[in-house]
Amino acid sequence: MQSLTIPRPDDWHLHLRDGAMLKTTVPASATVFHRTVVMPNLVPPVTTVTAALEYRARIMEEVPEGVSFNPLMALYLTAETTPEQVAEAAANDHIIGFKLYPSGATTNSAAGVKSVEALEPVLAAMQEYGVPLLVHGEVTDSDIDIFDRERVFIERHLIPITERFPNLKLVLEHITTADAVEFVKNANSNVAATMTPQHLLMNRNDLLVGGIRPHNYCLPILKRRTHQQALQQAALSGSPKFFLGTDSAPHVQASKETACGCAGCYSAPAAIELYAEFFSQHNALDKLANFASGYGADFYQLPRNTDTIELVQQEWTVADTVDTATGPMVPYWAGSRLQWKLKC
């Protein structure tokens, strides 16, 4: 049986939710990943260091005994965020950065930013203190096609931000387009991107052909095949600018299978195996270790993990559902086979 040992990976973009849901989501990620960047789009959003540390404490209560897990907290950037709050965040090792959600762009983003230009004093402070800006890069204008919203956001906002603040560390999260790949490649070394399993393994045909598949619905939405291929080429290139960020986003089955289904793919139960599937499909398993366990840590100037995980080449089927305290969830890739499995 073929096996692959890599340093323990990190997930640089993760949604855990709160309350009873943590009993399911925290063990699923903590037993695989050492560090995760925890997204702050709760209700109400996590906008202060105090709120983030309280949320982190609730997460740590659900970490299985004997598991080493370090959730790094992102703060929700709003019009009320101040340079003083940036300084406070910079002084706390548990805070990784600020997350920019355009208002209305995705789940629980109503409190998000309506004017990126108004953030200049805060962005200046983030550049000064070395605090990263994590970006959901989509405009929300009703007249902009949903498949073009990432490209327009880059042109309208990100290019000016990187020109105005060249020393600001910036992560364009869950990229989905060739435009995003080119932006990140052409930007300086302070700019990087996370990639999800669904955007590497699927395109919009997997969402829409033969009927709508709600459990493949996420935001940013899956794009056409040519964009998927651009993402794949970037991941396979070995560039340190592209690294793992699952964007695993739990929603119970009833919230997905409804007239207005929630956006998000819950990939945590098979996250590292899904990435192994992608790299294996392209005969590039040698690229998995840096993508999953190296480049993200390097970008955030954190030490690479020294403990390891082992994957074995063993066919298995992702569960149809995952039980939670608030109802069943259908995980990403449910009922489908994978060729690599984490050895427990």
307 catalytic residue (yes or no): no
Residue that has been written with the tokens 């405009």 in this structure: 139
Distances (CA, A) of 155 to 107, 151, 158: 23, 6, 6
Predicted confidence (pLDDT) per residue in 301-324, tens digit: 999 999 999 999 999 999 999 999
Q: What are the tokens at 302?
A: 């954190």
Q: What are the structure tokens assigned to 205, written together?
A: 């045909």
pLDDT tens by residue, 328-343? 999 999 999 999 999 9
pLDDT for the residue 161: 96
Q: Which of 10, 11, 179, 247 is catalytic?
A: 247
Interior/surface letters 167-201, b for 16+ CB within 10 angstroms, e for the rest:
ebbbbbbbbbbbbbbebbeebeebbbbbbbbbbbb
**Domains of the chain, each with CATH number or no CATH:** 3-342 (3.20.20.140)
d(CA 184, CA 192) in angstroms, rounded, equals: 6
pTM for the model stands at 0.97
Q: pLDDT tens digit string along 207-229?
A: 999 999 999 999 999 999 999 99
